[in-house]
């Protein structure tokens, strides 16, 4: 390891700090009242963010699938680039998600009966796994970049299917809730 490379301890501290901060930030969104006094036109413009979020999640999903295919073909550089893209898309999603929820009230799901139970089962699993995926994805990514391939592979076997699920269900949740957005 070069002297300019971050130490394993520094990487662990960063990953755990982010992994604790992200769920706290998202949970805090539900304690902070949405911005007041926004015009109808402004709110209408803000409601493009959930579409962007679904696009970011869907694109991250595609990057992850392509990354998996690349590494199975031995294309390590492509695998790294696609995982970097998926991580960047997920970070952009988080920024957009936070912005949207700071500006608007939560949208209530209006479906009834069995579809309501399906929606909440998907939503709850998505939320729980999205908190768990943060440290897994960051540790997996850091180990891969550091060349710690054996430990990267071990954690990636857990990370990849979970990250795929989180990105896919993010799109599904959008499809299910979008008919109930006010704009």
Q: 125-132, long-range: CB within 8 Å, 24+ apart, which pairs?
A: 125/165, 125/169, 126/165, 126/166, 126/169, 126/170, 126/173, 129/162, 129/165, 129/166, 129/169, 130/166, 130/170, 131/22, 131/23, 131/26, 132/162
pLDDT at 157: 97
d(CA 122, CA 118): 6
Contacts for 158 with CB less than 8 Å, ≥ 6 apart: 136
For 131-161, what is each residue's pLDDT tens digit? 999 999 999 999 999 999 999 999 999 999 9
Contact in structure between 23 and 131 (CB atoms under 8 Å):
yes
pLDDT at 1: 47
d(CA 138, CA 172): 24
**Nearest residue to 168 via CA among 53, 68, 57:** 57
**% of the chain exceeding 70 in pLDDT:** 97
pLDDT higher than threshold 60 for residue 2: no
Sole residue written with tokens 């479906």: 111
Domains along the sequence of the chain with CATH = 42-180 (1.20.120.80)
* Sign of torsion over alpha carbons 11, 162, 26, 103: positive
d(CA 128, CA 112): 23
For 41-70, what is each residue's pLDDT tens digit? 888 889 999 999 999 999 999 999 999 999
pTM above 0.85, yes or no: yes
pLDDT higher than threshold 70 for residue 9: yes
pLDDT at 154: 97
Mean pLDDT of all residues belonging to the chain:
93
Contact in structure between 95 and 53 (CB atoms under 8 Å):
no
């Amino acid at each position: 390891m070069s002297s300019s490379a971050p130490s394993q301890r520094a990487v662990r501290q960063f990953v755990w700090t982010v992994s604790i901060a992200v769920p706290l930030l998202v949970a805090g969104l539900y304690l902070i009242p949405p911005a007041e006094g926004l015009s109808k036109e402004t709110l209408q413009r803000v409601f493009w963010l959930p579409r962007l979020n679904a696009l970011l999640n869907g694109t991250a999903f595609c990057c992850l699938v392509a990354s998996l295919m690349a590494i199975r073909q031995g294309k390590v550089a492509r695998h790294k680039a696609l995982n970097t893209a998926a991580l960047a898309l997920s970070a952009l999603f988080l920024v957009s998600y936070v912005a949207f929820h700071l500006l608007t009230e939560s949208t209530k799901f209006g479906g009834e009966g069995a579809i309501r139970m399906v929606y909440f089962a998907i939503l709850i699993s998505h939320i729980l796994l999205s908190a768990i995926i943060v440290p897994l994805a960051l540790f997996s990514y850091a180990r891969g970049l550091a060349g710690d391939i054996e430990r990267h592979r071990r954690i990636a076997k857990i990370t990849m299917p979970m990250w795929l699920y989180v990105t896919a269900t993010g799109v599904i949740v959008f499809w299910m809730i979008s008919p109930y957005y006010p704009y």
